[in-house]
Amino acid sequence: MSLTVDVVVPVYGNWALTKDCLDHLRRQSTAHRVIVVDDAGPDDTVAQITAGYPEVTLIVLERNSGFAAACNHGITAGTGDIVVLLNNDVQADATLLELLIAPFANNPELGSAAPLLFQPDGTIDAVGLCADPTVAGYVRYHGATLADLTIPEPTLLGPYGAVAAYRRRALDAVGLLDEGIFMYGEELDLALRLNAAGWHTTAVTDARGVHLGGATSGRGSARQRERAGFGRGYLLRAWGIMRGRHSLRALTTELIVCGGDLLLSRDLAATSGRLAGWRAGRNASTRPSRAPGIDRSIGLIESLQLRVGGYRRRPQR
């Protein structure tokens, strides 16, 4: 029995990127439904899609609600067995969808799948996410080359938000993205919840695309760092990390990260974001007590290296 596929593309402006993304989706080798959610964007994306992409289901939000909320609107508007969340700054290879959804057909316990994404310079952008014992998330293989894929990385927890495939039945079981997070960290939280509920994940390295990156917030901008900090603070509270055995490590790490950000950027964006996220996290729903997919072999030093430098070859254990 073939699986039906919904591709949800949340957008906020940047019509040129969205057009490129939709043109790549038109060339996909497998049938799918595209659902674009315009998150009250400032440009003429709605008019452009209406005029030139009649096959696209278009949802227009009246106010800017954030990445998680936009994705959730798209997910609930669809009926596909598999939901693929796709950023508008991704250029999908023609076979990406076909290869990415294939493992779901033979494994009913598979809840999510992650493709191999490249950066424009040809190095790897991501092969899913991993997480350390403080539920800090890291992009796997970021900055590596294809040859490095033979070298073990931290355990795959789930897909990276730029392209993430989910079984709808798994989402029905654990809930959608947490809309308390405006942007950054919501896919990590969902991966943790899926993992805690017993759903499996996999990396599909034959399914490929290019992630242009940083197209909405601006790579390294104060806005981006504040929102990333918000997600971090929110998850620290939602997952009860500061009440557990790893609280001292988490506090040490965040002090180092915020101090370094202050020295490099000369602002308090990362710190203020974390404080705001911590306050908002008190309203988060109760999270599971453990997620087996957390990689407890990621020590403090390695976690700092992953934050700063991305990929580096792990020592033999």
Q: What distance in Å separates the CA atoms of residue 140 and residue 208, rounded to the nearest whole number?
A: 15
- The string of pLDDT tens digits covering residues 31-87 is 999 999 999 999 999 999 999 999 999 999 999 999 999 999 999 999 999 999 999
Q: What is the pLDDT of residue 215?
A: 46
Q: What distance in Å separates the CA atoms of residue 57 and residue 7, rounded to the nearest whole number?
A: 10
Q: What distance in Å separates the CA atoms of residue 155 and residue 298, rounded to the nearest whole number?
A: 10
Q: Using alpha carbons, list the distances in angstroms from residue 157 to 194, 198, 278.
A: 9, 12, 23
> For strand 110-118 and strand 163-167, is the pairing parallel, antiparallel, or unpaired?
antiparallel
**Start and end residues for every CATH 3.90.550.10 domain found in the chain:** 5-211
Q: What is the pTM of this model?
A: 0.94
Q: What is the pLDDT of residue 305?
A: 87
- The string of pLDDT tens digits covering residues 170-194 is 999 999 999 999 889 999 999 999 9
- The string of pLDDT tens digits covering residues 239-291 is 999 999 999 999 999 999 999 889 988 899 999 999 999 999 999 999 998 89
Fold (CATH) for 5-211: Spore Coat Polysaccharide Biosynthesis Protein SpsA; Chain A (3.90.550)
Q: What is the pLDDT of residue 252?
A: 95
